[in-house]
Amino acid sequence: MKSFFSWQLAVPSGKLKTANWRLKTKDYNMRCPFCGHDKDRVVDSRTSQEGRAIRRRRECKSCKKRFTTYEYVEEVSLTIIKNDGRREPFDRQKLQRGIELACKKRPISSKQITSMVDEIEEKLQNLSKSEITSKEVGEEVMRRLKELDEVAYVRFASVYHKFKDVSEFMDELKGLLK
C-alpha cells in the first residue's frame, strides 16, 4: 500500500523544511537533520493540529540527537477561477490577509480568524473540485463574517462587491439590518 505524506522537519535553525515522501511500508526512517544518517527510531507519536497531522519525535541511531517530524495527508491543490477568467492557485495567506483586513480593529482574535480560514479551506477541499470560482470563496467568507461580526462583513462586502456609489453600499446595509 503506497501513501503520500508531506513532512515538515524542525531543524536546528528553527526553520521548517518540507519534503514529500512516498511510503512503501509502515516501517520507514527519516534522514537526520544533524548528521544525515537515515536510521532512526520513533520515540513518541501523537496527533497534532486537531487530527490533521501526526507529530513524531525521533532519535537518530547514529548521533543520538532528537528531532521532530510532522506528517500531513497531501491535499489536492485548488485553482481559483477569477471573475475575468484568469486562473491562479489557491493562496491561504491571501485569504487570511483579506479577512484580517476586514476584521482590523474589531474584537476578533487572530485565533478566530485562523480558525475561520481553516474551516473555509477545509470546506473548499471537501467540495472535491480542483477548480473553484472566486465567487464561491467570497460568498463563503461573507457568510461566515456576517455571523461573526457585521462591521467586518460590511467592510469585506464593500471590497468584494466593488460598490460604485453610496446607494449600493446603503442597499447592502439595509439588507443587513432586516
Q: Where do the H-state alpha helices sit in the chain? A: 92-102, 110-126, 134-148, 150-160, 166-177
Bigger pLDDT: 16 or 89? 89
Name which of 78, 85, 80, 76 is nearest 138 in CA terms.
Answer: 80
Bigger pLDDT: 171 or 18? 171
The 10s digit of each residue's pLDDT in 94-107 is: 999 999 999 999 99
pLDDT band (50, 70, 90) for residue 160:
confident
Q: Give buried/exposed letters for 50-66 (b at 16+ CB in 10 A, else e).
A: eeebbbbebbbeeeeee
**Distance between CA atoms of 164 and 144, rounded to whole angstroms?**
24
Give the predicted TM-score (pTM) of the model. 0.57
Cell of 69: 517530524
The 10s digit of each residue's pLDDT in 125-154 is: 888 889 999 999 999 999 999 999 999 998
